[in-house]
Chains A and B, each alone.
Chain A
């Protein structure tokens, strides 16, 4: 796309690195500067949205397999911590790896049949599986039915991961986000990352060039499901409550898609940019319009998705690269 500088130290590359360094510092300092619980809560919500959208991005963005049912993994991550607590009084932490295992198992099960489906068909299959699980969970009393599950009200120790302050959650979430982005950054540079982009560009062409399409897609799905499951667990740990809609609901999937697509699907920092814009916007509509605000939020989401699709499918990063004068662009996210 833009003139990617070769190896060696160019001014643009230095500027890009400094820019991202400043951004990282801002993320680290944010909850200390904005110590109010309200702002810290926005920060935590932002991080969670960025984590889930980055997880979705591995499959939906890089490999171009647009899942609109990723809430199935989010919910599978969110339920076990609170279920094990409710059943046995165990620390919610125990449920996190269980959620990951379940998500991987589901990813492999749906990966086999649905990956023969491409494009729209894959999207449709994911939406149906997520919806099936949501309805099933809301009729199953063992996992709380339509009412849902609750976590520990007061912490018995640090291992309950139940804090009064938002601060520990903020840094926990920030660490997970850093991990997801680091893994994605590594993938971007490895052969696997090139395979993913080849599949996105043309599955048939990729196959004819010797890309192991099925395995690559399956790996991307499993990786994406794992991180999405972790995001779900984090949500459950923080809110201490989960029900079928907040775990498996279609709007959970929608948020991942729109956050990633707004910033730039298939770009490392796309989901971060998307969350940076959408989460404050969502908070603002909720604050201004009160209880009915959430409905307005989704009208807004729908409008934004339509506008992205119509005018800028590459997201805001691509818009930036097209519009910004050359010398501003730097070597940041090309």
Chain B
């Protein structure tokens, strides 16, 4: 029974991994740009949730939407002020830009919120469900289900709507898209907004179930790399499967080997993946 509980817990956390990783993979696939600050977006989403609950109150729907909007705006702003200018610059500038951004956001958060762990005050999601002997915190259950729904929603947005086609058209061929009357800059700004927004909601969902500090951004950033490397660069659906797998592996290795080894197993898997399949498990050569 304990094993079942570990597996279910891992899958629920993995669903949230899938949600924020789908944001990373969107930027990666569309612009061939790796955002080293993506984990920091998740971290900021958690603090937005905290601030909204403390100052305005409201349930998960309220602070979840607030985190999504706040991070969407931040993502668009960062694209307009920084990323747009470095995208066609030298490789060094691209790497430095998001890497510097990660440091800036992480240590500003340390400066403002201190290194102490915080958690949301009791929300309406407190409590535990008992389903046939498996104990599930309601917060985790809600976070997992919401994350899967949103990830599938993002996938549908990209594959079934006009906006999605335009985004993919820009990813495919910028110049051709421009000739079709699509404004690449707007689409790329939108992609950054969606990417950061997905990370923000994921952060708000995580905040309901887990305590955190500003340093979680680094951990989540690396988790997102692993998920994207496993699921394929640019594939939201791939991220969904890979996120669930990574969450499962983490939970099981934490259970069998001890909590400190769960990150070693995941990063080890990542390095092994890069070693054997540098183009991603499902990527093209």
Contact = CB atoms under 8 A, between A and B. Distances in A.
Contacts of A306: 82, 96-97, 100-101, 104
Interface string B67-89: 00000000000000110011001
Nearest to A109: B275
Interface in B31-56: 32-34, 36
B107, B108, B218, B261 — which one has the most chain A CB atoms within 10 A of its CB? Answer: B107
A333 interface: no
Nearest to A251: B103
Interface string A229-266: 00000000000000000000010001001100100010
A125, A129, A303, A309 — which one has the most chain B CB atoms within 10 A of its CB? Answer: A309
A31 interface: no
Nearest to A253: B99
B222 A309 contact: no
Interface string B89-129: 11111111101111111111011000000000000000000
B228 to A, nearest CB: 9
Contacts of A64: 90-92
A316 interface: no
Interface in A90-114: 113-114
A135 B270 CA distance: 14
Contacts of B100: 258, 301-309
B268 to A, nearest CB: 6
Contact of B94 (A117, A120, A295, A298): A120
B267 A132 contact: yes
B230 to A, nearest CB: 13
Interface residues of A, number: 44
B274 A310 contact: no
B96 A313 contact: yes
A120 B34 contact: yes
A298 B105 CA distance: 10
B82 A305 contact: no
B225 interface: yes
Contacts of A254: 99, 103
Contacts of A159: none
Given A64-B92, A128-B222, A313-B96, A301 B103 contact: yes
Given A132-B264, A302-B102, A250 B218 contact: yes
B110 A295 contact: yes
Given A250-B218, A303-B104, A305-B100, A128 B95 contact: no
Nearest to B233: A121
A117, A121, A129, A296 — which one has the most chain B CB atoms within 10 A of its CB? Answer: A121
Contact of B99 (A131, A257, A299, A310): A257
Q: Is the interface of A mostly helix, strand, loop or mixed?
A: helix
A277 B99 CA distance: 20
A11 B181 CA distance: 56
A119 interface: yes
A111 to B, nearest CB: 11
Contacts of A45: none
A128 B89 contact: no
A310 B111 contact: no
A298 B101 CA distance: 11
A298 B103 contact: yes
Contact of A66 (B92, B105, B108, B222): B92
B157 interface: no
B200 to A, nearest CB: 20
A124 interface: yes
12 contacts: A68-B95, A113-B278, A114-B278, A119-B94, A120-B94, A125-B271, A128-B222, A298-B106, A299-B103, A302-B101, A306-B97, A310-B81
Interface of B: 32-34, 36, 81-82, 85-86, 89-97, 99-108, 110-111, 218, 222, 225-226, 260-261, 263-264, 267-268, 270-271, 274-276, 278
Given A113-B274, A123-B95, A309-B82, 10 more contacts: A68-B95, A113-B276, A127-B222, A129-B271, A132-B270, A295-B107, A296-B111, A301-B103, A305-B100, A309-B86
Interface of A: 60, 64, 66, 68, 113-114, 116-117, 119-121, 123-125, 127-129, 131-132, 135-136, 139, 250, 254, 257-258, 261, 265, 292, 295-296, 298-299, 301-310, 313
